[in-house]
Chain A
Amino acid sequence: MTDRLVDFDEVLTRYEPLIGLETHVELGTASKMFCGCATTFGAEPNTQTCEVCLGMPGSLPVANAAAIEATIRIGLALGCRIATWCRFARKNYFYPDIPKGFQTSQYDEPLCTAGHLDVEVDGETYRIEIERVHLEEDTGKNLHVGGATGRIHGADHSLIDYNRAGIPLVEIVTRPIPLTGAKAPEVAKAYVTELREILLALGVSEVRMEQGNLRSDVNTSLAPIGSLEWGTRTETKNVNSLRSVERAVRYEIRRQAAVLDAGARIVQETRHFHEDTGSTSPGRSKEEATDYRYFPEPDLVPIAPDPEWVEKLAAGLPELPAARRVRLREEWGLSDTEMAWLVNAGALGLVADTVAAGASPSDARKWWLGELARRANDAGQELTELPVTPGQVAELTRLVAEGTVNDQLARQALDGVLAGEGDPAEVVQARGLAVMGESDELVSAVDAAIAGAPDVVAKVQGGKVQALGALVGAVMKQTRGKADAATVKRMLEERLLG
């Protein structure tokens, strides 16, 4: 079924969008939320399980203190109020990927409440109010075998991997975000981006979206401009990349406008986002919503963080991304626009780390926004996914600055680094990329160039000094780019004009 869509800009002339986000973050703790099992991604199915995370009869949970600490730190970074006493709750529903028949979560007593996060879109700041940050456990993963779609419909049988079951999961819920207008999709993306940066800075999660460490549910609704009531919302589930967050909001705005224009009503439902088409499709209807029968988890004791400890955690928070951006912009002497480029390219952290490893800010920016961005783009990868470290990039800039290599050779050295041949200096050594001095080899290359192009030599000696370039080129070609062009030019001038 293809949805009717209204042109995005046209929607905004008649409707005001309201968005909201629920973001799930898998914490990077060494062990699971309620047992000692490991949390390594990609392990053989069901090898990181025990009686507790398999929900075996009689087993009992013990809360992971590191996960509670991480959640409080997230809350503090988002300016939340930290509960002095709260409990876990059971969310009861039947599904094979929840081994106990309930998910241990938090309900009306979340660990953190009432925070906010400021994000910037096109120079304008939007304050996103955070309603709550709570701690729960992840579910297992169902694998439906034999069907065409990988979904349960049409599958021959299903397998369940409980390695993920019980991994600590933090849910961060915004309040409805009003008055974003046409920027709604970008604000949504900017929020998740900034949240991800904060989580990285806190070191609480690897936040690898492709591994599902961070998954956002995006709520979208439309109301006629001037209306005093909000529209019915849909919840688009598990939007798993930053770009998809933006696309999902945009699509829902366009789709809902078409529905409302046709005089129909929006069904309150969860929807699935499809990466390939950028569209959403209906999932479960919320109007026949499950009653989760929440009640306080009797197998766990209440969490009562000592206020002094919370204060210590607050004092120990690292520099947060927003503050860091301001500091780095000033230190590096960049304009707001230049800084925005860096941030949008996802290169800020890489550049900062490269500078920290000894490169100059301008060299670091030049490499990451230039050559490396091009390579990442060609490979269809994120900058962070390139197999090169900021330390290696800093070494490249040092080799150039020292004159060991020129820019051309440095790019060849980078080829070697990306191919896994080692650090830049090692590649330069192994591939013999160092710039040639006035060696015998270079002298004979110069001789050969002069001998091989008498007509050019005549032109040069006849006063057309520009023609020297052709001879330089010939030498460079002969030496496979390893010669230093300036040196070659000087040697030629000495020979022909001296």
Chain B
Amino acid sequence: MSIDGGGAATGRPSTGGDLTTLDVATLTEVLHKGEAGAVDVTRSYLDRITAEDPRLAAYLYVDSETAIATATAVDEARARGEELGPLAGVPIALKDVVVTAGIPTTSGSRILEGWHPPYDATLAARLKAAGTVLLGKTNMDEFAMGSSTESSAYGPSRNPWDHDRIPGGSSGGSSAAVAGFLAPWAIGTDTGGSIRQPAAVTGLVGHKPTYGSVSRYGLIAFSSSLDQAGPMARTVLDAALLHEAIGGHDPCDSTSIDAPLPPLAECARRGADGDLSGVRVGVVRELGGEGHRDGYEDGVLARFAEAVALLESLGAEVREVSCPAFDLALPAYYLIAPSEASSNLARFDGVRYGIRIGDDGAHDLDEVMALTRERGFGAEVKRRIILGTYALSSGYYEAYYGQAQKVRTLIGRDFAAAFGGADGTGLDVLVSPTTPTVAFPLGARVDDPIAMYAADLCTLPASLAGVPAISVPCGLADGLPVGLQIMAPALADDRCYRVAAAVEAAQDAARGHRLLEPLAARAVGPEHTP
């Protein structure tokens, strides 16, 4: 490896020469200048995956051969002097909910075992076209239903901060991979918090974009009206760069918004200047404020309070805001999401793809479908299918699905009221802790679905309202990362990045190093330490 030294000049962390420790913004420069090749970078990650993934279990599928081939092609193109996009040669990991042509895609479920999709998700195609190198597909809770990866049919991933703790979920394979330095960044999906919660508990930046601003085409649907793909990265700027690479209108997704993305990376860079003068920040009382602290850990509330103080010190105008309907977000979400899921998952019937059980001549059609679903789905998925089927059934629809949709409208109104203000007094962003607790131990909540669902308490309102929200690290509690959630009005994702970048820059400066740096050093392993 030829890039030792010079870290200070390029803003690289000083953890030595391992390419895997570089953030992507730096890595793209290194690649562009030819200080390292795409193959070098890809090899570094593949080596590290080989060494570390047996413990982290971040990946469900690693495609070394194709990754090296893709990287080689990028290097050759660069050598020929071809004009390459800025992300050419940068490795990436995709959550296994993202459909990839010819590459096994399971959504964490047994029922899709052996499925080799015939097409690429729009975001996968965009990343391919940008010249990124797909390292592999990351683990996840089955069909994205869970907050810990423990519902994955292929076993849980582990938190790089503490291998006995959950990496969050459902995008827990992606968070483990990025925080564990097994990928520079990754794609996650967020239905009720599945990007933000795993990002928060592993010390990453995770952004759930405005609903409709990243194509859902080729994301295996959990809850269509809530699902959004987004970036998970080690820095705010990287998250913005990845968001820009995957975002924007897609005619294949009817719910895709036909509007240009705001300049996200530019806002992230500007935010890093640390000046938040004039930015109006609302602290949501219902998310960890006075009278709403049940289930919130003291350490989380302490880091959150410090983060709010930091925002003020950076010039933001901070005031408390009440969003009463947020108290109803959890029950509303657990009616809407399972209802849509019960329908979205109906296609897994053993007829066209995936596993088929009982096709032995002794069982009729209905039995084969039932056996396939019985064997193919895990307990949490079945629980939600049953819940959703019940909520949609004739005679109950209004009382459950109908009521939940009304709550959803109310939550949207709470956001609108907070952000509103034609009088110019409206808030620019709302903040809360991303999660009520730090990463909990593996196994702690598997037998208690309600406790598991509570992990998404703070992230659900933005999901239900379709507004963007980012989680940015705001320190450690008991040695484990805590996330700050920043929510903005629909299509104002740039505000999330700007405020998050300011917090990140101030905290990194105060700390003297990035939050993840201890993991980078540890993860390299003794034999690699310079």
Contact = CB atoms under 8 A, between A and B. Distances in A.
Given A56-B119, A58-B218, A298-B340, A291 B394 contact: yes
Nearest to B212: A301
A60 interface: yes
B102 to A, nearest CB: 13
Interface in A202-225: none
B217 interface: yes
Interface string A25-58: 0000000000000000000000000010011111
28 contacts: A56-B99, A56-B117, A56-B353, A57-B105, A57-B112, A57-B117, A57-B221, A57-B348, A57-B353, A58-B121, A58-B221, A60-B252, A60-B253, A60-B254, A62-B253, A63-B254, A92-B342, A94-B369, A96-B365, A99-B352, A100-B347, A101-B347, A101-B349, A102-B346, A158-B365, A160-B351, A299-B255, A300-B255
Given A56-B353, A101-B346, A293-B394, 11 more contacts: A58-B99, A58-B105, A58-B121, A58-B217, A90-B343, A92-B346, A94-B366, A101-B345, A295-B340, A295-B392, A298-B255
B219 interface: yes
Interface in B95-113: 98-99, 105, 107, 112
Given A57-B105, A63-B254, A293-B393, A298 B349 contact: no
A299 B401 contact: no
Nearest to A291: B394
Interface string A277-294: 000000000000001011
A61 interface: yes
Interface string B343-374: 10111110111000000000001100100000
A51 B343 contact: no
Given A293-B343, A295-B401, A62 B255 contact: no
Interface in B116-131: 117-119, 121
B282 to A, nearest CB: 29
B216 interface: yes
A291 B224 contact: no
A51 B121 CA distance: 11
Interface in B216-250: 216-221, 223-225
Nearest to B143: A57
Contacts of B121: 58
Interface of B: 98-99, 105, 107, 112, 115, 117-119, 121, 216-221, 223-225, 251-255, 339-340, 342-343, 345-349, 351-353, 365-366, 369, 389, 392-394, 397, 401
Contacts of A301: 254-255
A59 interface: yes
A58 B252 contact: no
Interface of A is mostly: loop
Nearest to B220: A57
Interface residues of A, number: 30
Contacts of B340: 295, 298
A295 B401 CA distance: 9
A291 B346 contact: no
Contacts of A293: 342-343, 389, 392-394, 397
Q: Which of A58, A63, A102 has the most CB of B within 10 A?
A: A58
Nearest to A142: B365
Contact of A299 (B218, B224, B345, B394): B224
Interface in A394-412: none
B371 to A, nearest CB: 13
Q: Which of A59, A291, A298 has the most CB of B within 10 A?
A: A298
A68 B479 CA distance: 58
Nearest to B107: A57
Q: Which of A54, A62, A152 has the most CB of B within 10 A?
A: A62
Contacts of A299: 221, 224, 254-255
B392 A92 contact: yes
Nearest to B395: A291
A226 B72 CA distance: 86
A58 B220 contact: yes
Nearest to B121: A58
B225 A298 contact: yes
